Amino acid sequence: MKVVSMREAKSKLSSLIRSKETVIVTMRNKPVARIEALSPIEASLFQAQEALENTGISEEEALEILKQARQKIYASQD
């Protein structure tokens, strides 16, 4: 785990994120924030949430669509 000052974090944010290493940011030598990479699952869920918001479909409607699709898949396997 890397520890950097706020000043360094601001000036090197892109490279810190690309490193995919967890970084603790300090202000006046006290930890104030953590920067860490998203797991592949978290990244996928974030992208799905963004796509859902762009369609105008509610979360409840999306869950119902997924439930129906799952039922069709299982029914076709029988």
Mean pLDDT of the chain: 91
- Which pLDDT value is given to residue 78? 65
Burial class (CB in 10 A: 0-12, 13-18, 19+), 32: exposed
- Which pLDDT value is given to residue 65? 87
The pLDDT of 48-60, averaged and rounded, is 86
The pLDDT of 62-69, averaged and rounded, is 88
Residues 3-23: pLDDT tens digits?
999 999 999 999 999 999 999
Put simply, whether the predicted model's pTM sits higher than 0.95 gets the answer: no
